[in-house]
Structure 1
Amino acid sequence: MQEEHDTPTRILRALRFRPKGMTITEVAKQIGATRNSVSKHLEILQIAGKVDVRVVGNAKVYSLAQRVPMSAFLCFTKNLILILDESQRIVQVNDQCLKALRRSKDDLIGLTLEEAALPVVSTPEAISFIEGLEREQVVTDLRCRSDGKDFFYQMQAIPTTFDDGETGCTLVLEDITERKRYVRNMEFLARTAMELVDMPAEADIYQYIGKRIIELVPGGCVYVFSYDEIYQQFSLRATEGEGFHDGLIQILGRDPIGLVVPLTEIFSLPSGGSPMSLLHGGIKELIFYPEIGPEGLSFYDLCFRQIPEDICEEIRRTWNLGKVYITFLVWGEQLFGDVGIFMAPHEKLEDQQAVESFLRQASIALARRQTEDRLRRSESRFRDVIDSSPVAAAIIESDGRYSYLNRAFTDLFGYTLADIPTGRDWFRQAFPDPDLRSEAIAAWKADLAQAGRGTPRPRTFSVRCRDGEEKTILFSPVELSDGTQYVTCEDLTEERRAYRVLVGEITRLRQRRKS
């Protein structure tokens, strides 16, 4: 009997020195036991999870199971673990899981998942997934909501055999909330980067900023100010948050959009400090309730003292505002506005890095928009100057397209951009005779090659206008640094006509004298 009792130990000792495994016959021969006895004990050891078996041909080959004891697994893993029996009743749960679920072991052991009403694994989706478990381990992602926030877990359902031979499953839940949040934020930033690039000039970028911030901070209230560099003042451009804008209208008795605050008001606040430290300091957290923060800022101060204190207090109570996260929209040394995110006293701004990255994108977009706006105004002024000039002028792009004709040009020749969109169209209209056209084109190209950029190359041509009239024109083209040509045209028709008349009179006088 003692020998039979020691058989499992001797089997395990024999397998320890044969990592590739042994057949039943080899184990029986090694330990000096009968084949039937070894076979019976190997089956018990397999059920207990101490040995593994694989089939090689017609033989079963046994080896030591390389497994971590369940007790160690439960204690040291950071994942949440629940062990269920075949009826899906909870038989074991680790401390990490109890802490995350805020439950005790006595509350859970013996209950089914449905009875336990756990926030992650008791959903119909999770229970259906576990019920479909067969022999192979399966993995799925689960989502739950707690305290107004979304949490994500990756659940592994692993078929499990207990010491008594009964089967069940082990649920291993890994918290992947941060991973999901990171992916979501990267997708958000990629999307907003494209939207900012493609945003039309007439779109209100400040309202866009407010709406996107609410995507990242769905429970907050947001305001967005623009900054006017000329008048050195801020103007409220957007308020976002659930019922925030409409509620402000009701409390204030007017729409707050358009509220103007001088720059000096902001930097005179108790928390103002150095203007440059505020502009380039990133997101700054200011607490004003239930106690004023260390900087001594009240909600009345935060409203730049532009709203009566009693109304400020009503606003604060209505949305339970206790703190604000402020950042300025800055790129380089240019200030474009500022953004504030109000939150309740106990709340904290999550995804702060994503918020900062988005506001940096928005600042770059504002800088680009300002540059483009200045360029448009400069181009508009240039065209206004050229268009009001009495001298006929045209602008020809480096690829030969006519991009601009002023009024004097159209008055002189009768042609519009629709008539002569390219240089080829111009030469065909102005020089209908093929031979004269070829000569004019050759002369134009020769002058261009000889003069170089920045040097006028005047030349006189006789051209036909749209109404068929022939005019003598002095063309003075200049090639600019980017290959664009600026051409002015002076009508010499009357001067040439007067000159020919004068030459004719002189010729007749000479002939009379000779006669």
Structure 2
Amino acid sequence: MQEEHDLPNRILRALRFRPKGMTITEVAKQLGVTRNSVSKHLEILQIAGKVDVRHIGNAKLYSLAQRVPISAFLCFTKNLILILDNDQRIVQVNDQCLKHLRQSKDDLIGRTIREAALPVVSTPEALAVIEGLEREQVIADIRYQRDEGEEFFYQMQAIPTTFEDGETGATLVLEDITERKRYVRNMEFLARTAMELVDMPPGQDIYQYITEKIAELVPNPRIFVAAYDEAEGEFVVQAAQDKDFHAGMARLLGVEPVGLTFPIKKVLSHPQGGNPLALLTRGIQEYVLDPEPGLGKLSLYGDIFFRQIPEEICEEMCSTWNLGKINLTFLVWEDRLFGSVKIFLSPGEVLEDKQAIESFLRQASIALARRQTEERLRRSEARFRDLIDSSPVAAAIIESDGRYTFINQAFTDLFGYTLADIPTGKEWFRLAFPDDTQRREAVAAWKADREAAGSCHSRPRTFPVRCRDGEGKEIRFSPIELSDGTEYVTYEDVTEERRIHGVLIGEIAGLRRK
């Protein structure tokens, strides 16, 4: 009887030395017992999870079950784990879960999920998954936001579980996927804003756009964005976020904060002035707001607002919005300063997604640089066109593909044609040279002169031209091909000169005959 009672342990010892497994017959032969007895105990051990069985043909091959103790699993996994019974009472929880949920084990064991009112697992989304659990494992993403605004994401696996006594329950395994979610969200954000900045029309307020996009990444945003006026040496506030912060600032200051100027030159010449330009950096730097100077500290009155806002109002701002820190950066590209960004935080707040914000601000700085370059080009082109248009000499600009992109007023006065009449060189030659033979000769001479002269060399030639009113004129063309293939052409009416030249030639010929 004692041998029968000890048989399960003897079977386990026998299997331990045969890791590849043993059949019922092999176990019975080694232990010197009947096959029926071995078969009965192996079946019990299999139900208890202590042995595994494999089928090889008609034979069953038994081996020790390789299982990790639940206690070891709970201790060493990084995931958050709760084990629930059939009534959703918590029967086990690991240390990582206790630490993350800010709870003690005594507070949780024996209580239901609803009674415990735990973050994440007691949310309606998580409870719906747990209560709907049947035979199959269920995986769901759960979003949770703390009271202070910090957001977390978890992937929750709800696994049906059978205990040793046969009772059923569930094991909840929560993996913190916040960083993964943030990374995906930030990549989508940067891809979207990059396209929006490229497609942004010239008239859109880019500074307001910057504040709105930062607010998508920063909970409870209190943001100032200023443009830098290089000529005046001052920052000009262009946008503020959010609405309450903006309105409150206007109330405290008595004026609209957008449009306020902070002259750096004036601060630098102040007897107690610091050097705000020394703060210039390409990355976001966090400082504690403190009236007293020190390492890692900035004064709202002196360093941020350059003594342009009264000190008592600066103090009231800090108390009204509980401002304790500032994250400061500048809009810089290729050593050019375009503006500044100030993100105010409460003492306990943390600026999440700093890297994504820095990447976005680099994109915005490039967009500002491109916008300023385009604006300078527009002004330069406008000056050039004004210069040509006010010139008394008829002139036209012809693109390399033959399109007329500009003719000045003197051109229209000379020929009568407008840009609408001659959009291309083909139309110009058709109208100016109505005779087919003359037109072919003029086109051939134009092309030959262009090939012979090359780039940036004038190639004057005189042609008879028909004006819009039908009058014929002798015109000296002086085209110059620029480096990009564009042609700049001036036109001079030499009709009278040719007439006088003809008269003189006739008189000289007459004198010779006499």
TM range (shorter): over 0.9
User: Displacement, 1:291?
Assistant: 7.5
Q: Does 1:288 align with 2:289?
A: yes
Deviations 1:235-255 (A, max 9, x none): 111111251111112222221
Preserved contact between residue 330 and residue 363 of structure 1 (Cα < 8 Å):
yes
Give the 3 Å change call, closer, same or farther, for CA 180–344 of structure 1 in structure 2. same
Q: Does 1:338 align with 2:346?
A: no
Q: Which range moved further: 465-474 or 289-298?
A: 289-298
User: Displacement, 1:316?
Assistant: 1.8
* Aligned-partner SS, 1:227: strand
Give the 3 Å change call, closer, same or farther, for CA 32–422 of structure 1 in structure 2. farther
Preserved contact between residue 158 and residue 171 of structure 1 (Cα < 8 Å):
yes
Preserved contact between residue 271 and residue 295 of structure 1 (Cα < 8 Å):
no
> Tell me, which stretches of 5 or more residues in structure 1 are unaligned?
none
User: Displacement, 1:487?
Assistant: 0.9
User: Displacement, 1:5?
Assistant: 3.1
User: Displacement, 1:305?
Assistant: 1.6
Which amino acid counterpart does residue 214 of structure 2 have in structure 1?
A: I
Counterpart residue number, 1:213? 214
Which amino acid counterpart does residue 189 of structure 2 have in structure 1?
A: F
Counterpart residue number, 1:111? 111
Q: Which range moved further: 465-474 or 382-391?
A: 465-474
User: Displacement, 1:504?
Assistant: 4.2
Preserved contact between residue 141 and residue 155 of structure 2 (Cα < 8 Å):
yes
Preserved contact between residue 291 and residue 299 of structure 2 (Cα < 8 Å):
no
User: Displacement, 1:35?
Assistant: 3.4
Q: Does 1:304 align with 2:306?
A: yes
User: Displacement, 1:281?
Assistant: 5.6
Q: Distance in 2 between matches of 1:32 and 1:482?
A: 101
Q: Distance in 2 between matches of 1:25 and 1:405?
A: 106
Give the 3 Å change call, closer, same or farther, for CA 26–161 of structure 1 in structure 2. farther
Q: Distance in 1 between matches of 2:206 and 2:393?
A: 41
User: Displacement, 1:18?
Assistant: 4.9
User: Displacement, 1:294?
Assistant: 3.8
Q: Which range moved further: 298-307 or 435-444?
A: 298-307
Which amino acid counterpart does residue 206 of structure 2 have in structure 1?
A: I
Q: Distance in 1 between matches of 2:275 and 2:254?
A: 33
User: Displacement, 1:467?
Assistant: 2.0
Deviations 1:460-480 (A, max 9, x none): 111212222222111111111
Give the 3 Å change call, closer, same or farther, for CA 427–38 of structure 1 in structure 2. farther
Deviations 1:299-343 (A, max 9, x none): 222322212222222222221111111111111221111111111
User: Displacement, 1:446?
Assistant: 0.7
Counterpart residue number, 2:101? 101
Q: Which range moved further: 260-269 or 98-107?
A: 260-269
Preserved contact between residue 322 and residue 344 of structure 1 (Cα < 8 Å):
yes
Which amino acid counterpart does residue 191 of structure 1 have in structure 2?
A: R
Deviations 1:135-158 (A, max 9, x none): 443322111111311111111222
Q: Distance in 2 between matches of 1:267 and 1:154?
A: 54
Q: Does 1:191 align with 2:192?
A: yes
Summarize the alignment of residues 163-174 of structure 1 with structure 2, pairs less than 5 Å apart.
163-174=164-175
Give the 3 Å change call, closer, same or farther, for CA 274–226 of structure 1 in structure 2. closer
Give the 3 Å change call, closer, same or farther, for CA 329–444 of structure 1 in structure 2. same
Deviations 1:175-230 (A, max 9, x none): 11111112212211111111111111111111111111111212231001111111
* Aligned-partner SS, 1:111: coil
Structure 1 length-normalised TM:
0.92
Give aligned-pair identity as a percent: 71
Give the 3 Å change call, closer, same or farther, for CA 323–268 of structure 1 in structure 2. farther
Q: Distance in 2 between matches of 1:428 and 1:30?
A: 112
* Aligned-partner SS, 2:406: strand
Q: Distance in 1 between matches of 2:27 and 2:292?
A: 76
Counterpart residue number, 2:440? 438
Counterpart residue number, 2:131? 131
Aligned length: 511
Q: Distance in 2 between matches of 1:206 and 1:373?
A: 16
Counterpart residue number, 1:319? 321
Q: Distance in 2 between matches of 1:439 and 1:353?
A: 66
User: Displacement, 1:71?
Assistant: 0.5
Preserved contact between residue 48 and residue 162 of structure 1 (Cα < 8 Å):
no
Q: Which range moved further: 37-46 or 231-240?
A: 37-46
Preserved contact between residue 235 and residue 260 of structure 1 (Cα < 8 Å):
yes
Deviations 1:375-398 (A, max 9, x none): 111111111111111111111111
Give the 3 Å change call, closer, same or farther, for CA 317–414 of structure 1 in structure 2. same
Q: Distance in 2 between matches of 1:55 and 1:249?
A: 80
Preserved contact between residue 237 and residue 260 of structure 2 (Cα < 8 Å):
yes
1:379 to 378, 381, 386: 381
Q: Distance in 1 between matches of 2:473 and 2:27?
A: 116
Q: Distance in 2 between matches of 1:304 and 1:490?
A: 60
Which amino acid counterpart does residue 491 of structure 1 have in structure 2?
A: D
Preserved contact between residue 264 and residue 306 of structure 2 (Cα < 8 Å):
no
Give the 3 Å change call, closer, same or farther, for CA 14–421 of structure 1 in structure 2. farther
Counterpart residue number, 1:90? 90
Preserved contact between residue 206 and residue 238 of structure 1 (Cα < 8 Å):
yes
Counterpart residue number, 1:159? 160
Q: Which range moved further: 91-100 or 106-115?
A: 106-115
Q: Which range moved further: 283-292 or 142-151?
A: 283-292
Q: Distance in 2 between matches of 1:139 and 1:29?
A: 47
Counterpart residue number, 1:141? 141
Counterpart residue number, 2:225? 224
* Aligned-partner SS, 1:201: coil
Q: Distance in 1 between matches of 2:457 and 2:49?
A: 93
Q: Distance in 1 between matches of 2:64 and 2:274?
A: 70
Q: Which range moved further: 19-28 or 325-334?
A: 19-28
Aligned residues: CA RMSD: 2.4
> Tell me, which stretches of 5 or more residues in structure 2 are unaligned?
none
Give the 3 Å change call, closer, same or farther, for CA 235–25 of structure 1 in structure 2. same
